[in-house]
Amino acid sequence: MDKQQIQERQQQIIDFIGEFCAQKLNEEYFELSKRLMQKLGKILEGNPFAEMVMVNGLIVPLNTIPEEYQKMVREARAEGKDMSFTTD
């Protein structure tokens, strides 16, 4: 993923956090979580989301899904694409 795609993914996560905080928590938690997310992007070199994948709308570590799906994600990302999964 290039820098713009990383920023878009980071914004998706911040939006998700915002929705969750609006429903379950409050603005204070959202601001704290948003700052943490922004710092994480600065602290980690490269792509902080390279080892994450979305499953059923939740962001999980890539290594927690079956190996065959990990391979699919890595191949898609090598082609500049991304993917997510939905289970039944």
Answer yes or no: do 25 and 61 share one domain: no
Answer yes or no: do 28 and 56 share one domain: no
Answer yes or no: do 60 and 87 share one domain: yes
pTM: 0.48
* E strand or H helix that includes residue 85: strand 84-85
Give the integer Cα–Cα distance in Å for 27 and 61. 27
State residue 15's pLDDT score: 93
State residue 40's pLDDT score: 72
State residue 2's pLDDT score: 60
State residue 23's pLDDT score: 94
Which ranges of the chain have pLDDT less than 70?
1-3, 41-49
Give the domain extent around 58. Answer: 51-88
Q: Which tens digit of pLDDT belongs to each residue from 29-39?
A: 999 998 888 77
Provide the H-helix boundaries in the chain: 3-24, 27-43, 67-78
Answer yes or no: do 34 and 57 share one domain: no
